[in-house]
């Protein structure tokens, strides 16, 4: 299953209000979302049959659409239920989910006010973004040559497909160079984020993380900040210069796909996953899998 192309898998996808066979969930080549990036999406995980922070993800999908000047034609309640239906129809318990909304193919051109907004939701089994070996010893990051743009030039509060173009370029460059991922700076030269995850740095009982003023404030990021505070850490959100990384002992990434992933290297800087990483990996696991934690 893992080796099959995404469009050749078996299963069911929720598409514009109904469950369709996976291979029949198609769009036209002249879809506006393909040509002009009028597309927003969510990445979310189900654990034990329940989607973690489902309502927050559904509400963010709707908010992302509004930022791109279109209305998602379903309520958060309807999207929540559709996600549950997709899990049930595909007999999935632990899964990655991808709700996506985009402008269709009625007209082709920059303007798209008359184009229908479509919504689809897919789910599939997908293990951690990084291998277990990488997670245990910490992944290696290189610096990306691409920078997160100014919020005056992009809709940075939207989880919009077009904003991930430089993330793909950065990820490819990192993998080609033998790294697990890349760390990006912002337009001012401050540390921003990895290609699909937020970043944190640890010194003693202080955890420092970049202020999300030109990139997405992740749902997992906010969850981990709350967990860190519960475990006695002071969380400081601020602008961080690259040359400050030498003062930190630990580093980790957070995201729906990455979950909590320790980092061992960023360019010339080295980190040793320790107490903070171990504490927050465990705390996040218990938060997203409460039934499993209770059984243990």
* SS3 track for 27-94: CCCCCHHHHHCCEEECCEEEECCEECCHHHHHHHHHHHHHHCCCCCCCCHHHHHHHHHHHHHHCCCCC
pLDDT beyond 60 at 76: yes
C-alpha angle 11/293/48, rounded to 5°?
A: 15
| pLDDT tens figures, 8-62 | 999 999 999 999 999 999 999 999 999 999 999 999 999 999 999 999 999 999 9
How many CB atoms within 10 Å of residue 286?
A: 14
State how beta strands 250-255 and 259-266 pair. antiparallel
Rounded to two decimals, the pTM is 0.93
Gap between the Cα atoms of 17 and 119, Å rounded = 8
Instruction: Give the dihedral sign, CA 120/126/131/137.
Output: positive
pLDDT at 129: 58
User: In sequence order, what are the residues at sequence separation of 6 or more whose Cβ sits closer than 8 angstroms to the Cβ of residue 134?
Assistant: 180, 261
pLDDT at 126: 81
pLDDT beyond 60 at 2: no
pLDDT at 296: 47
How many CB atoms within 10 Å of residue 103?
A: 26
| pLDDT tens figures, 180-194 | 999 999 999 999 999
Nearest residue to 131 via CA among 33, 259, 268, 282: 259
pLDDT at 111: 94
The residues annotated as belonging to the active site are 159
pLDDT beyond 50 at 294: no
Q: For the chain, which domains are there?
A: 7-124 (3.30.470.10), 132-291 (3.20.10.10)
Q: Taking residues 211-219, report their average pLDDT.
A: 97
**Alpha helix segments (H runs only) across the chain:** 32-36, 54-67, 76-89, 132-137, 165-176, 219-230, 275-288, 290-295
SS3 (DSSP) at 21 = strand
| pLDDT tens figures, 86-120 | 999 999 999 999 999 999 999 999 999 999 999 99
Q: Which pair of tokens denotes residue 130?
A: 């990084």
Give the CA-trace dihedral at 28, 34, 40, 43, to 10 degrees. 80
Gap between the Cα atoms of 286 and 121, Å rounded = 26
């Amino acid at each position: 299953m893992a080796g099959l192309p995404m469009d050749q898998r078996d299963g069911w996808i929720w598409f514009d209000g109904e469950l369709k066979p996976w291979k029949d969930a198609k769009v036209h080549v002249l879809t506006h979302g393909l040509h002009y990036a009028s597309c927003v999406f969510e990445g979310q995980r189900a654990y034990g049959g329940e989607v973690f922070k489902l309502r927050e993800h559904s509400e963010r999908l709707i908010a992302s659409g509004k930022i791109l000047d279109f209305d998602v034609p379903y309520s958060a309640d309807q999207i929540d239920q559709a996600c549950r239906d997709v899990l049930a129809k595909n007999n999935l318990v632990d899964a990655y989910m991808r709700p996506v909304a985009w402008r269709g193919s009625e007209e082709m051109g920059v303007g798209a006010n008359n184009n229908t907004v479509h919504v689809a939701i897919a789910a599939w089994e997908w293990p951690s973004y990084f291998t277990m070996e990488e997670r245990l010893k910490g992944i290696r990051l290189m610096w990306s040559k691409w920078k997160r743009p100014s919020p005056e030039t992009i809709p940075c509060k939207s989880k919009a497909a077009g904003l991930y173009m430089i993330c793909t370029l950065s990820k490819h460059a990192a993998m080609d160079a033998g790294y697990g991922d890349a760390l990006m700076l912002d337009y001012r030269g401050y540390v921003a984020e990895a290609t699909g995850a937020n970043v944190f740095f640890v010194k003693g009982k202080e955890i420092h993380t970049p202020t999300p003023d030109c990139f997405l404030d992740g749902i997992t990021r906010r969850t981990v900040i709350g967990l860190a505070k519960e475990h006695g850490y002071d969380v400081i959100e601020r602008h961080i210069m690259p040359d400050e990384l030498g003062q930190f002992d630990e580093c980790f990434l957070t995201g729906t796909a990455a979950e909590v992933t320790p980092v061992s290297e960023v360019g010339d800087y080295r980190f040793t996953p320790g107490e903070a990483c171990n504490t927050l990996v465990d705390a996040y696991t218990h938060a997203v899998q409460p039934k499993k934690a209770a059984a243990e």
